[in-house]
Amino acid sequence: IPPLDGSRVLYGILPDRYAYAYSRFEPYGVFFLFALFIFGGGIFKYLLVPLSYLSVMLSGYNYGTLWGIISALLK
């Protein structure tokens, strides 16, 4: 999603035709993120769980306390 860091990486590796179409979406990315936070709160349960496990596996850091807070907020 364009306001996030990975959007520029994606833009750089897309073929020109798709990169142009993707760049037209960029001004609306912030609004899309706000809509996800406001109306799609339930979807974050399914996104944060795998991402948190992946970050623990890659970093080796124990996120037990942070994960407890996040899971309590998502209930």
For the cut 80, the answer to whether the pLDDT of residue 14 exceeds it is yes
pLDDT digits (tens, 9 = 90+) for 15-49: 888 888 888 888 888 888 777 777 766 776 677 77
Query: What is the sign, positive or negative, of the torsion defined by CA atoms of 54, 29, 15, 43?
Result: positive
SS3 content of the chain, % helix, strand, coil (to 5): 80, 0, 20
pTM beyond 0.95: the answer is: no
Distance of CA 16 to the CA centre of its chain: 24
pLDDT digits (tens, 9 = 90+) for 49-67: 777 777 777 776 666 666 7
For the cut 80, the answer to whether the pLDDT of residue 6 exceeds it is no
